[in-house]
Amino acid sequence: MRFFLAVIVLSFFTSINPGQVNSNEKILLIRCDDIGMSHAVNMAAKELIQTGLVFSASVMFPCSWYQEGVDLLKEHPEISVGIHLTLNSEWKNYRWGPVAGKDKVPSLVDEHGYFFPSRATFFANNPKLDEVETELRAQIDRAMKSGLKISYVDYHMGTAVDKPELRKIVEKLAREYRLAISRYFGEIDVKNMYSDPIESKKDSLYSLLKNLNDGINLLVCHIGKDNDELSAMIDMNSFGLSEMSKHREAELRALISAKKENIFEKYMIRLINYNDIIKEIGLEKMKSPVDSGY
């Protein structure tokens, strides 16, 4: 194992292009997004944690249920925690707005003070860069003051890095707060299960694991409990899934099954989280996946 770790670290230090890792080890980083979005998502995370699965948890700090997510994760320091940088609020009848306050970032909110539901509506309102930085900084500050050990940032719906000028803000803040950025370590994005049929998610996951590439693979997951709370939430985006709560529950069940049935061991997959990446590779080795000059 020490030899394998040495190979992995050396390959990253000498690799020219992120994603082209000269490693003969299959590595998987599972990132569960949207923690703190709702009670149902938090309870799904709790159930997954109890299995002992190694994963990273990305928390949405503008959401109403973030504090419950924080309290849960404080009890489990083995889970690597990140900030799911949020500039959209996509659910009908369940909306959230900026941590900084709507008066400080008026170009980021609608007439009711909520974030816009899509990237298109966000950019149609001509968001000001200084206000984006103000809000993302407020989210990071809330996270850092929560009592959790924060390791990394990523981005809800991709909005915070959708434009080069926004990506530079995220990179600037990550440098300032000494945080990793998801996808900046050459992670290979693998197809997630979110849009797969509900009844096929377990098969999809097992097929993905069986055919996993060598190197660090990133699997982004969206888990939840199919209860009254989550089933009442309707995505206002045209690409949103119907029966979203059932999709999220199916992802949860697939991950739990894989853990219980020792599928990761069967396919000789090493599970890691972002704490492991920071320790084994180092923040100084981060590189933008789009060469934006990190």
Q: State pLDDT tens for residues 149-158.
A: 999 999 999 9
pTM for this model (two decimals): 0.91
Task: Retrieve residue 152's tokens.
Answer: 């990394």
Q: Residues of the chain with pLDDT > 90: what percent? A: 89
Task: Retrieve residue 162's tokens.
Answer: 């959708």
Which amino acid is it at 46?
K
* Cβ-proximal residues to 217 (8 Å cutoff; 6+ apart), any chain: 26, 27, 28, 29, 187, 188, 189, 190
Handedness of CA 169, 175, 178, 181 (dihedral sign): positive
Query: Which whole number is the average pLDDT over 9-35?
Result: 63
Query: Which whole number is the average pLDDT over 66-76?
Result: 98
Q: What is the mean pLDDT of the chain?
A: 92
Per-residue pLDDT band at 15 (split at 50, 70, 90): very low
Which amino acid is it at 279?
K
Give the pLDDT confidence score for residue 294 in this predicted structure.
Answer: 53
Distance, in Å, from the CA atom of 128 to the CA atom of 229, rounded to the nearest integer, reads 34
Residues in the chain: 294
Distance, in Å, from the CA atom of 21 to the CA atom of 10, rounded to the nearest integer, reads 10
Residue 46 in this model has a pLDDT that exceeds 80: yes
Domain ranges for the chain, please list them.
Answer: 29-285
Per-residue pLDDT band at 18 (split at 50, 70, 90): very low
Query: Which whole number is the average pLDDT over 256-275?
Result: 98
Distance, in Å, from the CA atom of 217 to the CA atom of 227, rounded to the nearest integer, reads 31
Give the pLDDT confidence score for residue 24 in this predicted structure.
Answer: 79
Phi, psi of 248 (to 5 degrees): -70, -40
pLDDT tens, position by position, 161-187? 999 999 999 999 999 999 999 999 999
Question: Hey, which CATH number is domain 29-285, 3.30.10.20, 3.20.20.370, 3.10.180.10, 3.10.50.40?
Answer: 3.20.20.370
